[in-house]
């Protein structure tokens, strides 16, 4: 741990470096010296290593890539492709108005229908 702390502390400060080490240990994926150097390199690629390390911890990530911090650029992993925002299935969110209130007669009709379905055993069963 001392060797890893010596790698991270000059850039991140001792407290944040200890937090990064503890975070990885808590994920049951402890840092090695080589991993610490690679992680520090990614932090520095963002332009603000301290902010990147804090974001890494706040999000609970095991690893970190500088590209994840670039604003305006969406993350896309070729091994696990996600639909692009321009996809027809992922258009802009639409505002949905709340449903109209139902009449007392309709509410009673629905209660009777649910009671009938419960009596028939259609509602209330658990799936096995």
pLDDT by residue (tens digit) across 19-74?
999 999 999 999 999 999 999 999 999 999 999 999 999 999 999 998 888 765 55
What distance in Å separates the CA atoms of residue 72 and residue 45, rounded to the nearest whole number? 17
36/54 Cα distance (integer angstroms): 15
Query: Once rounded to an integer, what is the mean pLDDT over residues 97-112?
Result: 87
End-to-end Cα separation, the chain, in angstroms:
50
User: Could you give the CA distance from residue 102 to residue 99 in angstroms, rounded to a whole number?
Assistant: 9
Q: Is the pTM of this model over 0.75?
A: no
State the average pLDDT over residues 14-21. 94
- Please report the pLDDT score of residue 3 as a whole number: 92
């Amino acid at each position: 741990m001392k060797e890893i702390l010596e790698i991270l502390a000059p850039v991140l400060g001792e407290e944040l470096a200890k937090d990064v080490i503890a975070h990885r240990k808590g994920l049951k994926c402890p840092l090695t010296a080589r991993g610490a150097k690679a992680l520090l390199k990614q932090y520095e690629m963002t332009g603000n290593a301290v902010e990147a390390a804090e974001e890494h911890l706040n999000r609970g990530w095991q690893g970190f890539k500088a590209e994840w911090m670039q604003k305006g650029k969406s993350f896309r992993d070729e091994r696990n492709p996600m639909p692009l925002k321009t996809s027809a299935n992922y258009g802009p969110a639409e505002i949905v108005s709340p449903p109209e209130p139902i009449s007392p007669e309709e509410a009673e009709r629905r209660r009777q229908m649910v009671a009938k379905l419960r009596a028939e055993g259609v509602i209330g069963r658990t799936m096995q």
